[in-house]
Amino acid sequence: MPDEFRRLTFSQAEFKQALEADPAGAVNKVPGGDITVVDTVRSGSDFTFEITLFDYSTQKERKVEIGEDAAMEALAAHCQANSVPLPRVSR
């Protein structure tokens, strides 16, 4: 049986949309603004996403940390809501 490797890539707008629409509520409300930077931060064996947003109306930058599991759940829900096929098993 052949192996298949897929990598899903999300734009910053899709990532923010997924976080804002998270049906499970795992992600706290994301502040307004455009995502300018998404960094991964490692603390011990845990990963979090540090998201920097810039709000043009207030001319202020904000940073939000979101856990890896919460972000992955939000992205999976976003894929299901938009009919993006996901593999049944991941590595």
pLDDT in tens, 10-48: 887 888 888 878 776 666 667 778 888 888 899 888 888
- Residue 7 has a pLDDT of 80
Contact 68, 46 (CB under 8 A): yes
* Greatest extent of the chain over all pairs of C-alpha atoms, in Å: 55
27 DSSP assignment: S
| Strand duo 34-43 + 60-67: pairing | unpaired
Calculate mean pLDDT across residues 64-77.
Answer: 87
Instruction: Say what percent of the chain tops pLDDT 90.
Output: 8
pLDDT score, position 60: 92
**Cα–Cα dist 42/48, whole Å:** 6
What whole-number distance in Å separates Cα of residue 24 and Cα of residue 8? 21
Q: Degrees (nearest 5) of the Cα angle 52, 54, 56?
A: 175
Q: Give start and end residues of each alpha helix (H) in 1-67.
A: 12-20
